[in-house]
Structure 1
């Protein structure tokens, strides 16, 4: 493995088992392999993956461009600290209100059920409240995606509302969208405030 510079590590977010780094031009194959798993995409597209052309022309450029945001905002490629294998990604994006942000995450099926999602989410929440001036962080999932909902609950987020995604919502999501692919069910939103996080942290 190459020896990486101190500056490279300084731009990372480190957790117990992961290093979250900015996306680069060579990450197209990582995103394609992640989205090519029907199990990963089950609650996003019903199974079909994101076409490589869409990843290269739309998804990856958006992820890279978000790297200009001040940490911990933006998209983060998650790697094993031991093997540097690509595990998936996490995101923290500001909402319309500058003191609010939205969490996102997508991990390879091979690491499901091992606590990686909760570990990454907790790291972004902590930095969001302590470094980015956030007052409220939300995350959402399809109502039947119980595993994702458990991640939110373990990280301290509480259920706030049930809502129905529109075609416009899906078109703006971080995945391939085909007109008419709107879930019949609802999505659910979870949230945590700075005050709630501080109480958990003490």
Structure 2
């Protein structure tokens, strides 16, 4: 199964492609957007992230570029999980779209696609323990806190606190 085009009430989610590099590069260059991630990325680093992301797109999993009224609204992803039947949810939005409910709306569509279309058993999401906004989004779509952990240093910018959290929901709980 290839990645389908997905839609919510406001967002058109299209499979990420090489044509979206400029959107990814601009998003990844914003220090506020990247605050709880690996830090600001150069255009070259964003291009490498794009290549890596495109490599895992298969079986309906992957990353989607979201558009609202033809304007770029962010990225949403379902990455292959640590075991079969699982996927990791991710999202990243430009600041101009923060606090408009788009992160939640796109993330809900990722859950729907994962559970209904792909038959996943579990979807989880991880973030920095300090990223309370992302944790609130996770909770608002039905994911529950399952653990605290110390993240791989490559996940965060050098010098960042490595404390992280994982939220998850199973298919039965989601239904």
Shorter-chain TM-score above 0.5: yes
The superposition leaves residues 136-173 of structure 1 with CA deviations (integer Å, 9 ceiling, x where unpaired) of: 11001111111100100000000000000123xx2xx5
The superposition leaves residues 54-113 of structure 1 with CA deviations (integer Å, 9 ceiling, x where unpaired) of: 222x1122233334x132x11111111x2x111110110121321111101100010100
Q: Tell me the SS of whatever aligns to 1:144.
A: coil
**Length, aligned pairs only:** 173
Unaligned runs of 5+ in 2: none
- TM superposition outliers: structure 1 runs of 4+ over 3 Å: none
In structure 1, the residue matched to 2:87 is 101
Query: TM-score, normalised on structure 2?
Result: 0.91
In structure 1, the residue matched to 2:105 is 119
Query: TM-score, normalised on structure 1?
Result: 0.80
Q: Tell me the SS of whatever aligns to 2:20.
A: helix
Superposed, 1:170-181 pairs within 5 Å as 170=154, 173=155, 181=158
- Quote the RMSD (CA, aligned, Å): 1.8
Superposed, 1:132-143 pairs within 5 Å as 132-143=118-129
Unaligned runs of 5+ in 1: 1-9
Query: Whose strand fraction is larger, Structure 1's or Structure 2's?
Result: 2
Pick from 177, 185, 195 the counterpart of residue 172 of structure 2: 195
Q: Tell me the SS of whatever aligns to 1:160.
A: strand
Q: Tell me the SS of whatever aligns to 2:56.
A: helix
